A = this chain, B = another copy of it.
Amino acid sequence: MAVDDVDRRLLGLLQEDATQPYAVLGEAVGLSAGAAHERVRKLKASGVIRRTTIEVDPAALGRGVLAYVLLDADAWMGDKRAALEAIGAVEEAHVIAGPASVLVKVRAGTTEELQQTLRALHQVDGVTSTQTVVVLESFFERPPAVV
């Protein structure tokens, strides 16, 4: 789908606050409420907007420990998506180029829970070793830029 500059501005406004009335969105980009609504409808229909969701504070839910873990493997890891997805503390999993095979983002409640997650990662078929990078302070985590 063709996404023009007005669409991108609408996406930015919706990222900040998806509860705004279409009249306000339209005014911000120089459109009527109806026209703004039509733009957003198409962005949703085409998949540019995947869903409307809430952003939660992980620390408030008892997940204040963040870490990234590099997984080394002695087998092809391309079919290990389900095994990684089954580990609740794993927030992201990526196949990577370079020394290791897979990079996962882990958010745990405590260092003990982080250790349990590392054990679970070791038990995934093919994984031979892990390197853990513990986050001391997060400067920011923000959504993808739309401009």
Contacts and interface: CB of A to CB of B under 8 A. Distances in A.
Interface residues on A, range: 35 or more
Contact of A18 (B54, B70, B145): B54
Copies of this chain present = 2
A78 to B, nearest CB: 7
Contacts of A8: 61
B46 A60 contact: yes
Contact of A137 (B3, B60, B94): B94
A53 B15 contact: yes
Interface string A1-18: 101000010010011111
B94 A66 contact: yes
A52 B94 contact: no
Interface of A: 1, 3, 8, 11, 14-19, 46-58, 60-61, 63, 66, 68, 70, 78, 80-81, 84-85, 88-89, 91-98, 100, 103, 107, 133-147
A111 to B, nearest CB: 11
Given A137-B94, A138-B92, A143 B51 contact: no
Given A92-B138, A97-B133, A137-B95, A144 B58 contact: yes
Given A53-B14, A53-B143, A55-B50, A136 B96 contact: yes
